Structure 1
């Protein structure tokens, strides 16, 4: 293979169908894919498809910085810096995605801010607020914690820790982890919180329903009528509902400040260009207690990403990721976390579940498309009006999008059970218990501390301190914070339960699906790292027959 063939951005023959390990056994998955991982659609089409990928995760990309900004008091103390913080998330997302898709695991997965690290971030902000710290002090403290957590994740990835654990993780473990990625998000604010935008405004269920209805119609009923409906159902659905909301906002049907209002004035008042650069808020501070909390959030994001990798491979009609690919992916996510800390997002960087859902709905799994979208996001981050335009998408529209995508992700996770003997009681018990625990334990954690002046982590620490014999250990800040963050992340709870039970309850390899799983998993040699490609080993496209 020539050096030109190895370049990520060179042309790839459209008529070469992925035929990696096990793909031949999954014609439905391969047939569903419109563009495979190695495919390169026309440039104009790729730009629209790339923007669509990023529109699916715009809710998180805007909600996370807005949540941090509100907690840090930026709206009152420095309202002009909020848009810059959002822009920083866009820039970091774009650069981290380019790094992951070219140097990391080379899967078409968007990288960006993570809710797993938002919980400890808000806890850190709460402690600093009690000390009277300003928003800049809070941000540099968050930066330091994220950087250290990222360094640890780099070590976890590139030393092969996750790859070694993979041999103990079969379909019985992976299925509930992926399913919970979707199911555990049923109560995100854009769907469940009736007062998401402002007290008393309530949720606009008909606008949420309109968005959901449009995406379902475009992707499931009209996809055979025209190719545009198959490729762009999310983009068309959001644009349609967004346009309706904008018209109703301009005509006064939606009151300013309501959950459905489209604030177009914020777009015209945004600065044309906004400065985003390393250490823009100041040099990072490193506080041990804060680092431990962020470390727990990082571990939760690692488990989520592990599930995302398997989900993308399954949707794209490829074999399950090898240990080598997983290690490179987790290691690169650690690099993304370090970069996020340096740039000052106050949050980490991980694989986006929303992006996985977009692939499942559209069948577009092209790495090139995601890279084009990443370049667009970098430009959007520096171009103030564009970032503000994305920020005007009302929460109910994002909620409608999530309703469709998260359900699709849950179904993809459960489809992994096709390799498992479901007549074996052990398997049914493990999957059911893991799913229920993954929903119940985080719900419990969300209720801890309610009605008390203490935060949830502090209230849990006080309760654990009263445990006989073990209270002296469980009641420490480190242990309590770790348990609170991990226990509040559904896919981690479900994954841990399934992992322990699947590896301790007796069962044959055939019953557990491990034999079929081994046949479907790609060999380490099939993933060619960036270093290997520089040495001339060639790209990691799947093998094709001699006739091709």
Structure 2
């Protein structure tokens, strides 16, 4: 395949004629638009990003102050990696596409397991090692791109979207079904109102307003929640204006072999997840992702693991809801996500601003997330529509991968008694679906056991 040099050479321009317009991915928008669009990107990913330190902190029994440090480091690293992915860093890092990086849920269960067996220093030591591993194998891994055809990518993205819907519902209704406020009428009505507003704006809004429908829904929903007495910004006043992550907060890192191997497996799963998204973004923006772009994007994921190991944060991946936002708004400029990255860095260094965003009402964030996660699934379904099913075994690949991927969603405790290494691989819907789709695609479409099928 011959790639357009403008899409594979860092720093090059899509056209060389003096009056040529830049590719939409390279379009520089006015600062006012960049600010609003960047804030919208942050708004749709913030809850998913901070949920990782919240879940891990609770499972590890950390106090509120320590969890706050994890959140600040999480936002800072996510912002820095988003800038790297959007703008690039030398010829080694960054896909130079409109993507936002955020903490990967894939790492949560292994981190909890490692903490229980080896302690907190081993968690971040293993993460540091896995980050180095990721940077070393990013370019070799990118050579496997032909093993991620639409049948694999589409299945992975579809499962990601479907598996995340439950998290959106928990934000809307609440986490505890025994709570008297669980699924209360006002919570459900507020969430429904936000969804309806987004639908109406999507149908009738034009111009710049049409590109901000999610942000408008968030602001309007928060205003309505304030009138209903459903907001609590009390923690904002107690937060500091300035703060910085505490490197190696839990002491010198430790590197137990089993923990390092587990986190390296996590990094491979993160690579598979990011591969699917980077290629989807390339397709929807009209800038196909070749081996070089993919390798730089994956190397940035590895860099996030190394940075996280030092800053006491979490490894990042391309965030699903931001991919959906690009499709939903049609804004393809990578400078919008770079603006979001700058805002994430600011939030990471300014705990008070972070508390403001963290205090947005759950039903409002959940309703927006519901739309975004469903759009993720649609992105996967659109990719699956490109797959040839007649005369192939691709239907079996999709069916089994979707089925196996949904098992952890409908039966979260099914693998509870299995060894930790098995839970790392099969206990997550994303990892299990990707592995099954990848393996079956190899079996049916690449092994020379019979007629080679096209995916």
TM-score tier by shorter-chain length is 0.7 to 0.9
* Higher Rg of the two aligned structures: 1
Instruction: Tell me if structure 2 keeps the 8 A contact 1:100–1:329.
Output: yes
1:37 aligns with 2:18: no
For residues 38-437 of structure 1, what are the structure 2 equivalents within 5 Å? Answer: 38-75=26-63, 79-101=64-86, 102-103=88-89, 104-127=94-117, 138=120, 140-158=121-139, 160=140, 162-188=141-167, 190-191=169-170, 194-196=173-175, 200=179, 201-203=181-183, 204-219=187-202, 221-223=203-205, 226-249=206-229, 261-319=230-288, 321-345=289-313, 347-424=314-391, 426-437=393-404
Deviation per CA, 1:348-402, whole angstroms, max 9, x where unpaired?
Answer: 1221112111112111221111111111211121112100001102222222122
Gaps spanning 5+ residues in structure 1: where?
19-35, 129-136, 250-260, 450-455, 462-480, 514-548
Deviation per CA, 1:506-540, whole angstroms, max 9, x where unpaired?
Answer: 69999625xxxxxxxxxxxxxxxxxxxxxxxxxxx
Distance (Å, rounded) in 2 between the aligned partners of 1:236 and 1:189: 18
Distance (Å, rounded) in 2 between the aligned partners of 1:278 and 1:148: 16
* CA apart distance, 1:43: 0.7
Instruction: Tell me if structure 1 keeps the 8 A contact 2:40–2:215.
Output: yes
Q: Quick one: which of 438, 444, 453 aligns to 1:505?
A: 444
* CA apart distance, 1:243: 1.6
Distance (Å, rounded) in 2 between the aligned partners of 1:68 and 1:301: 18
CA distance 1:352–1:329, change in 2 (3 Å): same
Instruction: Tell me if structure 1 keeps the 8 A contact 2:172–2:366.
Output: no
Instruction: Tell me if structure 1 keeps the 8 A contact 2:107–2:263.
Output: yes
For residues 386-535 of structure 1, what are the structure 2 equivalents within 5 Å? Answer: 386-424=353-391, 426-440=393-407, 443-444=410-411, 446-448=412-414, 456=416, 459-461=417-419, 481-505=420-444, 512-513=454-455
CA distance 1:369–1:506, change in 2 (3 Å): closer
CA distance 1:284–1:264, change in 2 (3 Å): same
* CA apart distance, 1:195: 4.2
The normalised TM-score by structure 1 is: 0.73
* CA apart distance, 1:15: 7.3
Deviation per CA, 1:203-258, whole angstroms, max 9, x where unpaired?
Answer: 33223322222222222x123xx323311011111111112112322xxxxxxxxx
Query: 1:528: which partner in 2?
Result: none
Gaps spanning 5+ residues in structure 2: where?
none
CA distance 1:343–1:63, change in 2 (3 Å): same
The normalised TM-score by structure 2 is: 0.87
Instruction: Tell me if structure 1 keeps the 8 A contact 2:401–2:437.
Output: yes
CA distance 1:95–1:143, change in 2 (3 Å): same
Number of residue-to-residue matches in the alignment: 432
Instruction: Tell me if structure 2 keeps the 8 A contact 1:443–1:488.
Output: no
Q: Secondary structure at the match of 1:447?
A: coil
